[in-house]
Each structure stands twice: as structure tokens, then as C-alpha cells.
Chain A
Amino acid sequence: MADIDLGRLVIRAFDIKSVSWGDEMKVTPQGEMIISKSMLPDLVSSMDTIEAVDIRLIQPDEHDQWTNTILDIIPISTKALGVVGEGITHTLTGVCAMITAVDTEGKQCHEFGSSEGNLKEKIIFDNPGTPSSTDVIISFDVTLKAGMGQERKGPYQAHLLCDRFLQVYREQMKNFDGKLCSARNEFHNISRPGKKRVVIIREVAGQGAMYDMQLFPHEPSGVEGGRSIIDMGNMPILVTPNEYRDGILHSMQ
């Protein structure tokens, strides 16, 4: 029998050529990104487990520097049309977000082993889950209130803070002219009747603070609107290939 197309997802990538400091938060489809810390004080005061946050821009030749333990590496994507898993997604390449966290007592926010140290020794670059060696890393260095790194709310708010910051850029990315994208990828959920029926089962974190997984966020790889697999009793949930590759999961580990 012929293959059946169950749905289409288009991901348009916009390559970012420069990330620099400025007075406004701005990103253009031509590849210029400007970062400002202006909204950080408001974000910090809205989160009761967070003491402070700093942003660093780590250029590709600046990996030789200290980092606190790494919570996550996040692609910056948004829905231009449709919901996660279908329609059109705009994503940035050449740049990614990183969250690190430590508490006011100096305790790293980690569960089993932590990755603080010299950044160049603490990441294997160019893996699927890590930045490319040529990426600019927007590093969110979160200082949690004492002990909050070991409570679920602490790392959750660190992720949420970063997500709300990125949302400002996402709103601009939604309006990018698709014709200006540097790469366009089209993905289809294909049913192949008569072929071997296979499922992928992914056992993910579900035990606590850094050991959690957020599903169904409003934005690809986002936090807002999502819910934790712990709160859903860790029960199995099926997602389509296109939902998965669009970013319907956000690692809270």
C-alpha cells in the first residue's frame, strides 16, 4: 500500500551572524541579534526562588571561561503558524540559550554530578544536544535563593525566566518574512501501511527538582503553558514525530 501523509511541519531556520549588546532586545531575519539586560530586574522580582540573574554572551572564541553547572541548552524557536508539531516554525541557528544555576550558598544546582568548571572542558561541542563550536551562547547564569536548587520550584523558575526573556525575541521572529530564511526543512509524519510498526519509547526524568520533563508548552522548546511529567504521574504519553522534532519537550533536568 502507498504511504499516507499524516501531517506536515515546516521549520525555517534564520542564521544569526552577530549577537551583541545594545539598549533594546531585537532580532532581525537578516541575522542580527541585540541583547539587553533591561528586563532582568522585573523578571527576577517576579520569581520568588531567584536571587539574581546575569546574562553573558559567549562568543565562539570565548569558551575558556568559568561556568556554573549547566541545566539546559535551548534552541530559540517560535510558531509562525499553527501549533507545536504542525504548521510553520521559525528557529534561529548560530545561537542558542544556556541556563546555569547555583544558589547563594555556592551550592551548584545539580542532582547526580555537576558540570561547573571551565566551559571548554565541560561541553562536548557539536553534538545533537550541545552548541556548535561556532554558535554564540546566550548564557543565563541564575543565582537561586539558598537551598532552592534542590526544590522543584527553583530550577523550574530558572527555566521559566529564560523562557520569558526569549519570548520577546520569539514575538519578533513570528513576523520574519519566510523568504529571508537561510534554510527550510519540511518534515512529514508518514504512515507506511504494511511496513513494520515501530514505536520509540523514551524514558525521561520524573523524580524531582532537576529530574523533570516539561511537555506541551505553547512555544517549541518552551516552558510557558507546559506541564510536568511528574504532575501527570509520569504516565506514558504519545507524541507524533513532528511534535517531537518541533520541540514539544523541554528538558528540566
Chain B
Amino acid sequence: MGIGPSTKETSMHHFRDPLLDVVSADEDIDLLGIIIVGSPDGNADKLLVGTRAAIWAQGMRADGAIISADGWGNSHVDYANTCEQLGKRGIPVAGLAFHGKNGKFVVTNAYLDAIVDFCKNKDGIESNVLGENNMNVKDCRKALAMLKLKMRKSDAERGV
């Protein structure tokens, strides 16, 4: 559960966030903003806040969403639900998360088909080394490329 040192995102990480850099620089994308959502303790709260995030995104008429989580284990419960809530609302979603060997999804659903695993540790574990299992520019580019593909598919399906 929770976050270990290797997946922790420091204040410095947020200051130099590669995901924001990649998405905001892409001229094909109108970046509406960054939704920050907490990962609470209780299961009911997890489902509530993630669903609220998806409803916001729909209210924003988002064509797509990229979602990241800075932890794993029980944080993936919210994560999987948020992906599902987005997907059910017709919003294509790509994501970034830590999986490796010990962070496999504890729950799963049909909307988790475009998730980039940013595990860097070669044994696939929470190594307790600060910054090791953080997302980098390459991970973010990959997620954005997957999102673009999904958005294109969704357009084609809707005949847009």
C-alpha cells in the first residue's frame, strides 16, 4: 500500500514535472488543466473522489485524460475506478503508474489498456531509493502517444 521512497514524488518533482512539460508543449493538445485528487483511506471515499474527478473531466468536455498515481497497492483502487469512470463517460484515458513486480494492479477493469509502467528498478521492486521509480520524459511521451491513439480510435468509432 501507499508510497515508498522510490515512487515518492518530491516537491522538486512537481516543480519540474515531465508529464506537464510533455503535454503542455504538444501543439495538438489543448491542455485544460491539472486535476489534483487525493487518495483517501476508506474505500467509499476512494470511489467518491475518483468519480468526482471523472465528472469534472466530463464537465470540462475533455476529449481525453492522462492519469498518474504516485503510489501503488491500495492507491490503485482509486486509480482503476477513476479510469473506469472516465472510460464509461466516453473519455479515452491513458495512464502512468508503478507496477514492476510488486505493484501489480490489485483490481482491474476494461479501461486499463493504456497504462505505462514507470518502474525502473531492474528487479521490479520498491527499492527504497529516492527517485528511482519516478516517471521520466520517455514514459510521459509514451502515455501521450497512447492517449492520442485512443482518442483517434474513439473519433473513428463515433464517426467524427
Contacts and interface: CB of A to CB of B under 8 A. Distances in A.
Whether the complex brings A and B within 8 Å at their CB atoms is answered: yes
A129 B20 CA distance: 13
Given A197-B60, A247-B11, A249-B11, A205 B3 contact: yes
B114 interface: no
Nearest to A69: B5
Contacts of A208: 41
A112 B134 contact: no
Contacts of A230: 38, 40
B28 interface: yes
Given A236-B56, A241-B20, A74 B10 contact: yes
A239 B36 CA distance: 7
A66 to B, nearest CB: 15
Contacts of A110: 5
B121 to A, nearest CB: 10
Contacts of A192: 27-30
A238 B34 contact: yes
B128 A247 contact: no
* Band of interface residues on B: 35 or more
Nearest to B144: A198
Interface string A105-145: 00000111111010001111101111100000000000000
Given A114-B128, A204-B70, A234-B45, A239 B38 contact: no
Given A75-B12, A244-B17, A251-B11, A115 B61 contact: no
Interface string B143-160: 000011001000000000
Which one of B38, B39, B63 has the greatest number of beta carbons of chain A within 10 Å?
B38
A131 B13 CA distance: 10
A198 B64 contact: yes
A202 B68 contact: yes
B38 A128 contact: no
Given A122-B129, A124-B132, A130-B131, A201 B30 contact: no
A203 B75 contact: yes
A240 B32 CA distance: 8
B65 A200 contact: yes
Interface string A200-228: 11111111100101010000110000000
B66 interface: yes
A152 interface: no
Contact of A195 (B27, B86, B131): B27
Contacts of A196: 28-30, 63-64, 148, 151
Which one of A113, A192, A230 has the greatest number of beta carbons of chain B within 10 Å?
A113
Which one of A110, A125, A194, A204 has the greatest number of beta carbons of chain B within 10 Å?
A204
Contacts of A123: 129-131
Interface string A19-41: 00000000000000000000000
A2 interface: no
A75 B30 contact: no
Interface of A: 69-70, 72-75, 77, 96, 110-115, 117, 121-125, 127-131, 190-208, 211, 213, 215, 220-221, 229-230, 232-241, 244-245, 247, 249-251, 253
20 contacts: A123-B131, A128-B18, A129-B12, A195-B29, A198-B147, A200-B31, A200-B68, A202-B37, A205-B2, A206-B41, A211-B71, A213-B36, A229-B36, A234-B37, A238-B36, A239-B34, A240-B33, A240-B34, A245-B17, A249-B11
> Which 4 residue pairs across A and B have the least CB separation, nearest first?
A206-B38, A129-B13, A234-B38, A113-B4
Interface of B: 1-6, 8-20, 23-24, 27-41, 45, 49-50, 52-53, 56-57, 60-71, 73, 75, 78-79, 82, 86, 120, 126, 128-132, 134, 136, 147-148, 151
